[in-house]
């Protein structure tokens, strides 16, 4: 799979590649395979006469270039310039005995916004290319979907289908599929067809909660199976109103600091001419109104005089040419940078793990498991409704320990919910082996703990980097002779911990549950039943006995203090 990747510093696009060895379930990134001095995107790859070619979008260079693979997929060399036009989102397809090049020419004014579709044809993908008589063959002057390509065209039952981007922002907000009814050197006609895609129920937290603008579907060469890859942008997680409010507050403080710095170094003079605020002297029939205007202007003039005096008083207080003054300015500038960065993070940033992506080949979703009973049904309803919206939650499993279980209709959820009814009220049920769990990762979470989706996603990201450990939010320390169980404050003071409470922890359920129900842990499970407590201590000891390395990870070690 080839895709655009951006340099985090320059934001210039390059072409990268990834490979999947399990039919697309997981992907291994191979890195950047094509890097030019200008922006690249939309890598369109095809084969011709036993060679593999790529046509990336390179409109910043002002032309359309064709590359061929010297060492597939890592090394590409320029074959030729196909066209001296700044085409965007171009595709090349062989249909009815001819090669067709479809792209959007942005050389004319306003064409990028209109999203015009232009067509060329040739007997070879290497050219020469002849313009279609109908160019631009399709535009967006009315309210029809965008003419810009949104992926690879495909042939199904002898018919050609083109993928376009729905009208919206620069890259569109959705995908539209068109059936090409007529394609000749003189004529082009297409009609929109229905495109059924299962819509996620997580709203703004879904993988395409903001938009989708690229679809690539191909038929597998060994059968009737079709494989599709679709992109999506997700809105940053968290309360958007809160994020915007805090972000703009940081921007506001930064702006005020800039003005204050300008006043202090004398670059901004608080001298406002009084004549700007004197009343007009034309005749007016309404004498009372004129008197009020004169009175208000007099008051405002007094205010301006005071501002001018203040400006004269504090202006030029920092001698920026001196050593001390330069230190002051450097400190203020550093504060401005920090404020701007914080503001940008809250407005444009997410949690660092908005995308559900695999780490080291691990799957990118987890099962949320909680244990409860009938007296806490109201807690469970809030729990399910809130956490079902989190991006990487695939399923919620409710371990029902006591009383009449609720019906699924009583729980409002964006993901599947499964209620597992237990025969005995015991804390050991939390770690019962469950073959119906479809993910490797399980998040054990008490039903009275409410954290943001951001914090949940961050914890999952850390677990994917340490899948052999218990990764959680609440540390404890057991030490001394005799062994004494210490709380979180003590663990922080000592700068270490060796137990993670499993009431809020990620783990590999196959590994953890198997250890918990081993023969060696039988006595420990009996103690848990007798005290109705300490199941998390038992699981931590079982992990520690199986490994000579670190077995637990606490999120405050990764600068997640706000989680605790």
3-state secondary structure 395-420: EEEEEECCCCCCCHHHCCCCCCEEEE
The whole-angstrom separation of Cα 362 and Cα 241 is 33
Predicted local distance difference test score (pLDDT) of residue 68:
97
pTM check: above 0.85: no
* Count of alpha carbons within 13 angstroms of residue 122, beta-carbon side: 14
The whole-angstrom separation of Cα 189 and Cα 191 is 7
Predicted local distance difference test score (pLDDT) of residue 142:
47
Cα 336 from chain centre: 27
Low-confidence ranges of the chain (pLDDT < 70): 25-26, 108-115, 139-146, 167-173, 198-205, 234-243, 263-320, 348-363, 546-564
Predicted local distance difference test score (pLDDT) of residue 200:
66
The whole-angstrom separation of Cα 139 and Cα 147 is 6
Q: Please enumerate in sequence order all residues whose Cβ is within 8 A of that of 341, keeping only pairs 6 or more positions apart, or say none.
A: none
Predicted local distance difference test score (pLDDT) of residue 140:
53
Q: What is the dihedral of CA 268, 269, 273, 276, to 10 degrees?
A: 20
Express each pLDDT in 282-341 by its tens digit.
Answer: 444 455 555 655 666 666 666 656 655 555 555 556 666 777 777 877 888 888 888 888
Which residues form the catalytic set? 536
Contact 552, 540 (CB under 8 A): yes
Per-position DSSP letters for 308-340, written without gaps between them: HHHHHHHTT-S-TTSHHHHHHHHHHHHHHHHHH
Predicted local distance difference test score (pLDDT) of residue 315:
53
Question: Do the bridges between strand 175-183 and strand 159-165 make them parallel or antiparallel, or are there none, so unpaired?
Answer: antiparallel
In three-state secondary structure terms, 428 is helix
Contact 552, 541 (CB under 8 A): no
The whole-angstrom separation of Cα 435 and Cα 51 is 47
């Amino acid at each position: 799979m080839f895709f655009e990747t951006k340099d985090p510093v320059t934001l210039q696009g390059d072409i990268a590649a990834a490979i999947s060895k399990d039919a697309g379930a997981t992907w291994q990134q191979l890195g950047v395979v094509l890097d030019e001095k200008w922006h690249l995107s939309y890598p369109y790859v095809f084969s011709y006469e036993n060679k593999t070619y790529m046509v990336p979008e390179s409109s910043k260079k002002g032309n359309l270039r064709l590359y061929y693979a010297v060492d597939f997929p890592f090394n590409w060399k320029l074959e030729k310039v196909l066209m001296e036009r700044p085409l965007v989102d171009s595709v090349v397809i062989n249909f009815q005995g001819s090669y067709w090049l479809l792209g959007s020419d942005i050389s004319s004014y306003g064409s990028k916004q209109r999203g015009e579709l232009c067509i060329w044809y040739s007997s070879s993908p290497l050219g020469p290319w002849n313009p279609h008589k109908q160019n631009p063959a399709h535009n967006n002057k009315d309210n029809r979907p965008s003419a810009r390509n949104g992926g690879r065209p495909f042939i199904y039952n002898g018919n050609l289908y083109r993928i376009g981007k729905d009208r919206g922002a620069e890259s569109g907000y959705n995908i539209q599929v068109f059936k090409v009814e007529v394609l000749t050197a003189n004529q082009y006609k297409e009609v929109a067809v229905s495109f059924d895609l299962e819509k996620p129920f997580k709203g703004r937290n879904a993988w395409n909660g903001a938009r989708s603008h690229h679809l690539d579907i191909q038929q597998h060469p060994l059968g009737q199976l079709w494989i599709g890859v679709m992109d999506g942008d997700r809105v940053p997680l968290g309360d958007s109103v809160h994020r915007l409010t805090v972000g703009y507050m940081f921007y506001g403080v930064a702006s005020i600091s800039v003005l204050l710095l300008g006043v202090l170094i004398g670059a901004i003079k608080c001298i406002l001419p009084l004549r700007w605020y004197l009343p007009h002297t034309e005749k007016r029939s309404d004498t009372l109104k004129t008197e009020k205007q004169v009175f208000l202007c007099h008051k405002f003039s007094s205010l301006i005089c005071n501002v001018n005096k203040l400006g004269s008083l504090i202006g030029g207080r920092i001698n920026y040419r001196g050593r001390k003054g330069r230190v002051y300015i450097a400190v203020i500038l550093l504060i401005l940078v920090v404020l701007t960065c914080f503001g940008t993070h809250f407005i444009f940033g997410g949690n660092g793990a908005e995308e559900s992506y695999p780490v080291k080949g691990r799957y990118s979703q987890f099962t949320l498991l909680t244990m409860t009973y009938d007296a806490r049904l109201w807690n469970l309803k809030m729990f399910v409704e809130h956490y079902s919206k989190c991006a990487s939650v695939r399923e919620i499993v409710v371990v029902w320990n006591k009383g009449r279980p609720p019906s699924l209709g009583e729980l409002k959820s964006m993901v599947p919910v499964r209620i597992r009814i237990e025969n005995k009220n015991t804390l050991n049920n939390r770690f019962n082996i469950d073959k119906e769990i479809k993910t490797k990762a399980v998040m054990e979470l008490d039903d009275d703990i409410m954290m943001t989706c951001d914090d949940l996603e961050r914890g999952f990201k850390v677990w994917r980097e340490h899948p052999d450990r218990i990764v959680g939010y609440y540390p404890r320390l057991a030490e001394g002779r005799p062994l004494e169980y210490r709380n979180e404050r003590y663990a922080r003071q000592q700068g270490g911990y060796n137990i993670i409470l499993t009431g809020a922890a990620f783990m590999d359920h196959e590994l953890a549950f198997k250890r918990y129900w081993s023969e060696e842990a039988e006595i420990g499970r009996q103690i848990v039943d007798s005290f109705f407590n300490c199941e998390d201590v038992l699981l931590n000891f079982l992990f520690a006995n199986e490994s000579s390395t670190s077995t637990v990870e606490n999120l405050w070690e990764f600068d997640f203090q706000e989680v605790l």
